[in-house]
Amino acid sequence: MNKVVWGLILLLVIIRNDYWFWGDSTLVFGFIPIGLFYQACISLAAGVLWYMATIYCWPTDLVEETKEAIQEEPAQ
Amino acid sequence: MTQLYIIGGYLVLLLMLGLFSNRLFKGTSKDYMLASHSIGPFLLLMSLFGTTMTAFALVGSTGEAFTEGIGVYGMLASSSGIIHSLCFFLIGIRLWSFGRRYGYTTQIQFFRDRLENEGIGLLLFPILVGLVIPYLLIGVLAAGAVINGVTIGAFDTAFARYDFGVPPWLGSLVISVIVLLYVFFGGMRGTAWANAFQTMVFMVLGIVTFFIISNQIGGVQAASEAVLEKHPSKMMREVPPEEHATYEEEFERWEVVAKYNWAKNQPEFAPEIKAALTEEKEKEFADEAASRPGPPFMRPFIQEALEAEYAKEQGLLNLSPEQTQIAKIEQDDRILPPEGQRAADWVNLPLAHFAQSDDWVKEALTTYADEIGHVRLEENKITRNAALGRYRVTHWAPQEPERMSFLLFVTYLLIPFSVGMFPHLFQHWLTAKSAGSFKLPVVAHPIFIMIVWVPCVLLGVWATSATYPGTERLIIPPHFPANAVLARMVSELTDDVLAGFLTAGVLAAIMSSLDSQFLAIGTMFTTDIVTHYTGEDRFTDRQKVWLARGFVILIVAVTYGCSLFEPRRVFILGVWCFSGFSSLFPLVFAAVYWKRLTAAGAYAGALAAIISWLWLFADSNFGLDAEYTFFGMMPVVPMVAAAIVAMVLVSLVTKPPSQATIDKFFALEAEK
């Protein structure tokens, strides 16, 4: 799943370059141009993918190791 | 005056917040600089978001959308939403872990340790501080401009030169002092609280403003349809042929006026033009101009256009291509380089190639001298800014609608990587209570960007075509300064109270970046220079805090001094400063993930980044060429490429880091 999430993030970076909407001014919901609507959806998708990343790609080992190190020598 | 009171009240509130957080100050430098690693997810999200969103988030996004159209969201905002979170996730958490385990407060401490090299600090310190100064300058200048814009006419007699509003130099000074005070009182904890509070303020006020303004201009649907009718290119990233044809017609008419204005002052053409334009003809054109719709100040311009058209019809404007180009350059107030310094094909170059002269400001103020006055106390008077606007509308060439370059759009993706090397973000990352504190910022950051940017971008594109209710008169005239679009929409379409609050919101966005930057440069000076070279015990903790404050005052004074002398280039400098930070991103990425990175490789990478930056910056006429690209790409591309190539090649041919360093920073990878 870790690789799938990173793959999806890479895909998001690629499809952010929406050349297919370059000359399209269709209004979505009667007021948002489709180029802007699509990019807003990219931002929402980024939020969803980063949420998945915090679940499936979280650096648990690093976090645990840090926690142990901090407990040995607590912060001031 | 209402706006001034609201802004004043807001600033007092901020100071109180700084004072209150001071009550929790533990007196240690660690508490002052890192809030004792006590910041949880919500405060971390708000601090990181508030810090990365500068004045550009509200004012710049609206202005850029007004100029470029909706494409700016994809170019600047959605790319940041993906890449900022990527940096928090890949770089932020790792650096937080190293910082907590090995006690770092600054980036330079980490690099010195990771690269087993002292000198790298002396190379990075001036580069990082040097790149932060233009970033600070943007905030300081924007604060002064915003306060001046909304307080015009607030005073009865004082500050006539500034349209009886708070002078920009005074507004900038007040904001700098306020931020300094709450950073001094509250340190990192005060900064984090103030950031959270200010981020909420500018987000809420941005949304409220969006709904009120969209309602005032006839609703969201009508506003978008008006743009589709008048400026469809603003709703996409291409220019439809019909819009381009309209522009070409307007440009042709303007060119005739430019040729006429130039020719009537040349001995070669003047006598014939004078003979043709009899008194009778002039009166006929004056009467016709008076009968046309539009504000009275446009009449002389319409008359001039009618005379020019007549002169053309009479065959009196047969100028050579060189003369035509000179006429257009003069009419558009641009600078023609002296003979010998001109490009070979200067006759065919577009006007944008020639720098704009500053002389037009004096001419505009002289032209409208009788009409400039106190708009609140005198009837039929206009502000100096309005006079400048009238001059631009009646003199300059129509603005050409432009398609957005796909290559620029793609390569702009490298700019948001700058957050990976921002010294102030590094410091914010280290304030996190635990790694878990990063989860909320990583997830919510792109969504917050969308919440702030989408309404601002819509307001910007609507401003291109919005008219006063019940009239055909544009609220924002052509050639209007992009960064003043939001303020104009607010002042024209809302009341003083909302205008005051929105100004407080814009100032909140500015100050929530300035505070972190002030704190970061103070921390770097104390930690990386003073303590590092004089020893940990040479100064007490309290003395270190005061040293940090002293250095911050020095840098703010330098920044403030720069703001008084070179305000023109600052917004262009912003992208250059982000490009500089982005070009250092490969260094931090390699330091965290590539065991083979050596000190020599890091030197080579940093030097390649900064030398390529300096070379390209000089090539862009020190930022004056706003359209500057590198083979159609953002200049950041060659900078990053140079940094990567130099860093990798030199690292591979130099001695690898010691096993102790590899064990210290890559123990987990070794276990796997």
pLDDT digits (tens, 9 = 90+) for B482-500: 878 888 888 888 888 888 8
Of A29-38, B2-11, B502-511, B565-574, where does the model show the most confidence? A29-38
Q: How many other β-carbons are positioned within 10 Å of the β-carbon of residue A63?
A: 17
d(CA B213, CA B226): 15
ipTM of the complex: 0.94
The dihedrals phi and psi of B61, each to the nearest 5 degrees, come to -65, -40
Q: Is pLDDT at B670 greater than 80 in this prediction?
A: no
Q: Which residue of A has its CA nearest to B91?
A: A59
Q: Do B523 and B497 meet the contact criterion of CB atoms below 8 Å apart?
A: no
Q: What is the largest CA-CA distance in chain B?
A: 95
Q: What is the DSSP letter of B336?
A: P
- Chain B positions touching A61 (Cβ under 8 A) are 668, 671
DSSP B393-430: HHHSPPPPP-PPPHHHHHHGGGGGGGGGG-HHHHHHHH
Provide the 3-class DSSP secondary structure of residue B4: helix
pLDDT digits (tens, 9 = 90+) for B40-83: 889 889 888 888 887 777 777 888 899 899 999 999 999 999 99
d(CA B586, CA B605): 8
Residue B671: what pLDDT?
64
Q: Is pLDDT at B139 greater than 60 in this prediction?
A: yes
Cross-chain Cβ contact A36/B439 below 8 Å: no
- Chain A positions touching B101 (Cβ under 8 A) are 66, 69-70
What type of residue sits at position B229? E
Cross-chain Cβ contact B458/A69 below 8 Å: no
> Among all chains, which residue has been given the structure tokens 């009120």?
B212
pLDDT band at B566 (very low <50, low <70, confident <90, very high): low
Picking from B74, B223, B445, the nearest residue to A39 by CB comes out as B74
Provide the 3-class DSSP secondary structure of residue B518: helix
Nearest to B190, CA basis, from B556, B501, B518 = B518
d(CA B585, CA B340): 42
Provide the 3-class DSSP secondary structure of residue B631: coil
- Chain B positions touching A13 (Cβ under 8 A) are 82, 413
- Chain A positions touching B79 (Cβ under 8 A) are 16
Give residues with Cβ within 8 angstroms of B135, minimum separation 6. B54, B513, B517, B574, B577, B578
Q: Is pLDDT at A68 greater than 90 in this prediction?
A: no
> Among all chains, which residue has been given the structure tokens 């307007």?
B250
Give residues with Cβ within 8 angstroms of B415, minimum separation 6. B76, B79, B575, B578, B579, B582, B634, B636
Residue B572: what pLDDT?
67
Check CB contact of B223 with chain A, cutoff 8 Å.
yes
Is pLDDT larger for residue B645 or for residue B16?
B645
d(CA B211, CA B669): 52
pLDDT band at A8 (very low <50, low <70, confident <90, very high): very high
pLDDT band at A76 (very low <50, low <70, confident <90, very high): very low
d(CA B660, CA B667): 10
Cross-chain Cβ contact A17/B77 below 8 Å: no
Provide the 3-class DSSP secondary structure of residue B61: helix
pLDDT digits (tens, 9 = 90+) for B342-363: 888 899 998 988 888 888 999 9
Q: Is pLDDT at B585 greater than 60 in this prediction?
A: yes
| pTM for the whole structure | 0.89
pLDDT band at A75 (very low <50, low <70, confident <90, very high): very low
Tokens of B621: 């006429």
Overall average pLDDT of the B616-626 stretch: 84
pLDDT band at B567 (very low <50, low <70, confident <90, very high): low
Mean model confidence pLDDT for chain B: 88
pLDDT band at A11 (very low <50, low <70, confident <90, very high): very high
d(CA B607, CA B164): 48
Is B262 buried (19+), middle (13-18) or exposed (0-12) by CB count in 10 A? buried
DSSP B243-297: HHHHHHHHHHHHHHHHHHHHHTTSTTTHHHHHHHS-HHHHHHHHHHHHHSSS-GG
Tokens of A7: 């793959």
Nearest to B665, CA basis, from B120, B111, B87, B117 = B111
A residues 2-61 lying closer than 8 A (beta carbon) to B: 9, 12-13, 16-19, 21-25, 27, 30-33, 35-36, 38-40, 42-44, 46-47, 50-51, 53-54, 57-59, 61
Nearest to B260, CA basis, from B202, B303, B227 = B303
Q: How many other β-carbons are positioned within 10 Å of the β-carbon of residue B130?
A: 12
Cross-chain Cβ contact A31/B220 below 8 Å: yes
Residue A1 to chain B, least CA–CA distance (Å): 17
Poorest-pLDDT segment among B16-25, B215-224, B599-608: B16-25
Q: Where are the alpha helices (DSSP H) in B152-240?
A: 168-216, 220-230
Check CB contact of B3 with chain A, cutoff 8 Å.
no
d(CA B392, CA B400): 15
B residues 51-80 lying closer than 8 A (beta carbon) to A: 70-71, 73-74, 77-79
d(CA B535, CA B629): 46
Taking CA atoms, A3 is separated from A15, A43, A53, B124, in Å, by 18, 21, 10, 35
Give residues with Cβ within 8 angstroms of B478, minimum separation 6. B392, B393, B398, B399
Q: Do B80 and A43 meet the contact criterion of CB atoms below 8 Å apart?
A: no
pLDDT digits (tens, 9 = 90+) for B588-599: 999 999 999 999
d(CA B100, CA A67): 9
Residue B205: what pLDDT?
83
The dihedrals phi and psi of B633, each to the nearest 5 degrees, come to -110, 165
Pairing of strands A27-28, A32-33: antiparallel
Residue B535: what pLDDT?
79
